[in-house]
Amino acid sequence: MVGYNLKNSEPPISMEDGDSRGYGSLRTLQDCVHCGFCLPSCPTYRVLGTESDSPRGRIDLMKAYANGEIGISNSLMEHISLCLVCRNCETACPSGVRFGWAMDATRARLEEEIHRSVTDRISRRIFFSVFENLAVLRTVMRLLRLSNFLPFMRLSRLLGFSQFSQFIPVTQNVLKNSSGFINPGGRLYKADGNRPATRKVGFLVGCIMSTLLADIDHATLRVLNKNACDVVLCKGQTCCGAMHLHEGEREKAKTLARKNIDAFSKYPDIEAIIVNSSGCGAQMKEYGVLLEDDLKYHKKAEEFSSKVKDLSEFLCGSQLNTSFTSLPDMKVTYQDPCHLVHGQGIRKEPREILRQIPGIHLQEMEDSEQCCGAAGIYSVLNPGMSEQILSSRINSINKTGAKVVVASNPPCIIQYSTRFQNTGDSRRVMHLAELLDQAYSS
Amino acid sequence: MIPITQSLRDDFIRELGREKVLHTKEDLLPYRYDAFALVKGEAGLAVLPSSTHDVSTIVKICNKNGIPFLARGAGTSLSGGSIPLENCIVILFSKMNRILEIDYDNRTVLAEAGATNISISSAVADRGMMYAPDPSSQLVCTIGGNIAHNSGGLHTLKYGVTTNHILAAEVVLHDGEIVQIGSKARERIGYDLLGLVNGADGTIAVVTRALLKIIPKPRNVKTLLAEFGSVEHAGDASSEIISSGTLPAAMELMDNLVISAIEDSIHAAGYRKDVGAILLVEVDGPEDENELDSRRVIEICYRNHSTAVKVAEDESQRQRFWSGRKGAFASMGRLGTNYIVQDGVIPRSNIAEALAKIGSIGRQFNLRIANVFHAGDGNLHPLIIFNEANGETEKAIKASVETIRICTELGGSITGEHGIGIEKRDLMGLMFNEKDLELMRWVKEVFDPNMLCNPCKVIPQGSRCLELIPGLAIK
Ligand code: SF4
Ligand code: SF4
């Protein structure tokens, strides 16, 4: 009820340069009335039961840090980094606190002040830079595919990257089965001949989606073409920057946002920007928030964001092409990706589409809106907590008897497929686009 | 105040294990609050027991060292009941949230104190049963906290409060002894000790388990939304509904200011903003009786100048009718930056008079006061809107005290369901004289001779616990 005073810690904000430390995003903390309604929604609170690992507790810590009441400490860093930024607490909050914005801004400020070792800094820089240029990323992925990945493991260990090296075997495994990478060089994918092309849309190919999970991108393109869309892979696009933002690399995230805004604005005739990865979609719908103090880009960012549509949102909003050839009977369950349901408020659309595919039986699982523990690169940074969270999801899925888990976000897909692979589980995780693609072509 | 020394912390770690003892500044900081935000406390240490035995161990260490302690569920108290004062040890119940036994034959559920209110109803829902008390925070709040505040909810009118739905409790006494109060037998024999634990804000003993009654869920429910030109008409209608012999399951009244705030917020429920008041009435029971009741309510509303009465056609519309009411407090942000929610009770025949007086308090202090209340049992929730940044806090607290004074002058009470906690402690004098309070102190001393159990709550204690809220103490 009685709000905090965040003013004390505010430096003069230069509107010209943009507010790099995200003070605007911290203001939402003042809306918290301590009601505690968010507690049961929080995956880490469910596991640990401690207030500092709950949304309300983290809000208090963020305020205290912003006010200078507490400084950086191991304990603070632990509570902050244990947050998945799943934003489930936002859905639960009756006061409209935008927790995710505040957490992103807090991490950016911590990142500026925290002391990291030299190897740590270098390895972080390398890791994040790889994603800043899709051509570089494709090269790295290609090397990964060719090499026996051992040199990579060694190299990354050498760099103090032991945590990140866990990604490599997983990556390798997924890559083996993946078809050609997608290069967004401005190419146009024409709508399927059978239906008149009525719409032209842009497509964000995505960093992970266009390489590691390129099959899904290919499927998405085919699905859009089947739905009377000319799809253009706008040239100059890059990674959406969500990972950078959530890990405290706010400036880099802004640079990526500006690049994407510039790239897509060269195609004024596209009516929507389609995204098939929820994390990217949520990020791109909030470019306006990220660039709120950037006078040059703010308005452009809002325009850009208003065009961004999740694949399911777009297909549901237009007339879905339902000339399916029936799939073999299949029981599926649906995992709500956090940044689709809590970040974008989309829960009905994917289910509506699933129900229209003949042969598919949707069996809802308990707590489908709970995070699977992947949360970007969280599973690598906090493997213990991630595992515990995932296990409770697996329990819910077990009760449904479903053979396929539908989850339309790269980290969720990797998280589930790794678990299924490691435990010799024959169940599969699929993207909505893959199911649709199969239903159109089978 | 006894400082928490390293050796004391080691005692806890030795007895409980390292992972059950929280001690860093950052671990403890957020325990300074619950949902009552006017006062900040400070936790000396927080401990995470996983069994009654753990709780007993903790209390024994505290008792031996003269360290005060406090049980905390989800920290949703609106009166500061779970804010740690005197640097006390906070006993967390988040890991003691299991349902231990469901006995359909005797219609009881045995649960640990940290189980959420909703988890009881969910556990028995597939058999068409429910746990009746339903505070607005029911998804979060715990059974232990419900017992501490003797919580009710929207359906209190027909179904009663916590004390009506509890058969027994396992508690840890001030010296760590574990005792059982009550049993599956429905009669309470001898002194009502269970009644004493209920509503004591956790100042008598630490509740670790509770045996709760479950009841069949009503099969037929009708929800009506009646619009009125003025609050007075709505108030009259609610009085007449009660005196007509109909007992609604719930009856809520909202004034125009609340309605506008709701409709401007994310909780918008499609209420008409140009009406003076809305009365939400829910009736349940066997089908024919249900039909009769709802017809009678509609008739009474129109007789009292209702401009329109809508009946929820299906479950989703019913949910929509309620969603606005449930989001009422949270919508207050639309009216100002800060608010105080009061909780007073008046005899329900005085609703119109009380509202008029509250209106004049608002004018006197130049503050906006919105009103939402449980009309059926005269439980008022005036919401005093203010702006802390303009230095209005003290004025707002004074105004809120005046609204409570009105309640007691009309023969009512200083709290309906939020408890005394810190918030109302210094207002006890409005209802009780020094003799009454002395008697309460005796009772407290019998159970807690060293005054360690949730210190400085409920009873004004004189010099030991200083005035916590500026401007609150009554002169
Ligand atoms: S974002 Fe997720 S993990 Fe973080 S506090 Fe909110 S609910 Fe918890
Ligand atoms: S639900 Fe919202 S207002 Fe309530 S404690 Fe959580 S963040 Fe704060």
pLDDT at site A144? 74
Token pair listed for A215: 């099959």
> In a 10 Å sphere around its CB, with 0-12 CB exposed, 13-18 middle and 19+ buried, how is residue B207 labelled?
buried
Q: Which residues contact B252 (CB under 8 A, 6 or more apart)?
A: B154, B279, B280, B281, B325, B372, B373, B374, B375
* A138, pLDDT greater than 70: yes
Q: Can you tell me the distance from the alpha carbon of A388 to that of A270, in angstroms, rounded to the nearest whole number?
A: 43
Q: Is the dihedral of CA B183, B187, B193, B198 positive or negative?
A: positive
Task: Please give the distance, rounded to the nearest whole angstrom, from the Cα atom of residue B301 to the centre of ligand 1.
Answer: 45
Task: Please give the distance, rounded to the nearest whole angstrom, from the Cα atom of residue A31 to the centre of ligand 2.
Answer: 8
The model's pLDDT over B424-438, given as tens digits with 9 standing for 90+, comes to 888 888 889 999 999
> Which residue among B265, B327, B338 places its CB closest to the CB of A1?
B338
Q: In which residue ranges of chain B is CATH 3.30.465.10 found?
A: 99-216
Q: Can you tell me the distance from the alpha carbon of B193 to that of B174, in angstroms, rounded to the nearest whole number?
A: 15
Q: Can you tell me the distance from the alpha carbon of B404 to that of B96, in angstroms, rounded to the nearest whole number?
A: 36
**Ligand 2 atom nearest residue A39's Cα:** 6
* Residues in chain A closer than 8 A to B330 (CB atoms): 33, 35, 94-95
CA distances from A141 to A145, A181, A430 (A): 6, 9, 22
- What residues are in contact with ligand 1 under a 6 Å CB criterion? A 41-44, 55, 58, 83-89, 99
pLDDT at site A164? 57
Q: Which domains does chain A have, with CATH numbers?
A: 4-113 (1.10.1060.10), 118-175 (no CATH), 188-316 (3.40.50), 330-441 (3.40.50)
| Residues pairing with A232 in the sheet | A188, A202
Q: Can you tell me the distance from the alpha carbon of B384 to that of B362, in angstroms, rounded to the nearest whole number?
A: 8
pLDDT at site A3? 30
Give the pLDDT mean for B225-250: 92
Give the pLDDT mean for B57-74: 96
Q: In which residue ranges of chain B is CATH 3.30.43.10 found?
A: 6-92
Alpha-helix runs per DSSP H in B341-392: 351-365
Q: Is the pTM above the cut of 0.90? A: yes
The model's pLDDT over A30-71, given as tens digits with 9 standing for 90+, comes to 888 888 999 999 999 999 999 999 999 999 999 999 989 999
Q: For residue A143, count other CB atoms closer than 10 A to its CB.
A: 12
- Cβ pair A2:B31 closer than 8 A: no
| pLDDT band at residue B462 using 50, 70 and 90 as cut-offs | low
**Across all residues in chain B, what is the average pLDDT?**
91
**Across all residues in chain A, what is the average pLDDT?**
86
Min Cα separation A95/chain B (Å): 5
* Residues in chain B closer than 8 A to A35 (CB atoms): 35, 76, 137, 329-330
Q: Can you tell me the distance from the alpha carbon of B268 to that of B251, in angstroms, rounded to the nearest whole number?
A: 20
* Residues in chain B closer than 8 A to A37 (CB atoms): 76, 137, 139-140
Q: Which of A26, A27, A28, A38 to mutate to test the pocket of ligand 2 (most atoms within 8 A of CB)?
A: A38
Q: Is B446 left (phi over 0), alpha (psi -120 to 50) or beta?
A: alpha
Min Cα separation A2/chain B (Å): 6
> Ligand 2 atom 4: the closest Cα is on which residue?
A35
Q: Which of A87, A91, A370, A378 to mutate to test the pocket of ligand 1 (most atoms within 8 A of CB)?
A: A87
- A131: nearest Cα among A159, A167, A104, A180: A167
CATH (one of 3.40.50.150, 3.30.43.10, 3.40.50.300, 2.102.10.10) for B6-92: 3.30.43.10
pLDDT at site B108? 97
* Residues in chain B closer than 8 A to A47 (CB atoms): none
- The CATH-assigned architecture of domain B221-409 is 3-Layer(aba) Sandwich (3.40)
Token pair listed for B155: 């359906």
Structure-derived torsion over alpha carbons of residues A373, B95, A41, A39, reported in degrees to the nearest 10: -130
- Cβ pair B116:A40 closer than 8 A: yes
Q: Is the dihedral of CA A100, A106, A112, A116 positive or negative?
A: negative
> Ligand 1 atom 7: the closest Cα is on which residue?
A42
Q: In which residue ranges of chain B is CATH 3.40.462.10 found?
A: 221-409
The model's pLDDT over A183-215, given as tens digits with 9 standing for 90+, comes to 888 888 888 876 666 789 999 998 888 888 888
Task: Please give the distance, rounded to the nearest whole angstrom, from the Cα atom of residue B397 to the centre of ligand 1.
Answer: 33
Residues 333-372 of B with CB under 8 A from A: 333, 337-340
Give the pLDDT mean for B407-420: 90
pLDDT at site A44? 97
Task: Please give the distance, rounded to the nearest whole angstrom, from the Cα atom of residue A88 to the centre of ligand 2.
Answer: 11
**What own/partner pairs with CB < 8 Å and gap ≥ 24 does B332-335 have?**
B332/B261, B332/B370, B332/B383, B332/B385, B333/A31, B333/A95, B333/A96, B333/B265, B334/B260, B334/B261, B334/B264, B334/B265, B335/B257, B335/B261, B335/B368, B335/B370, B335/B385
CATH number assigned to the domain covering B99-216: 3.30.465.10
Min Cα separation B85/chain A (Å): 17
| pLDDT band at residue B439 using 50, 70 and 90 as cut-offs | very high
B54 CB within 8 Å of a chain A CB: no
B29 CB within 8 Å of a chain A CB: yes
> In a 10 Å sphere around its CB, with 0-12 CB exposed, 13-18 middle and 19+ buried, how is residue B437 labelled?
middle
- B251: nearest Cα among B419, B379, B352, B418: B379
Cα distance from N-terminal residue to C-terminal residue, chain A: 58
- Percent helix, strand, coil in chain B (nearest 5)? 40, 20, 40
B52 CB within 8 Å of a chain A CB: no
* B160, pLDDT greater than 70: yes
Q: Which of A28, A42, A63, A106 to mutate to test the pocket of ligand 1 (most atoms within 8 A of CB)?
A: A42
CA distances from B6 to A73, B45, B61 (A): 20, 11, 14
Nearest CA in chain A to B23: A75
The model's pLDDT over A335-386, given as tens digits with 9 standing for 90+, comes to 999 999 999 999 999 999 999 999 999 999 999 999 999 888 888 888 899 9
Task: Please give the distance, rounded to the nearest whole angstrom, from the Cα atom of residue A37 to the centre of ligand 2.
Answer: 6
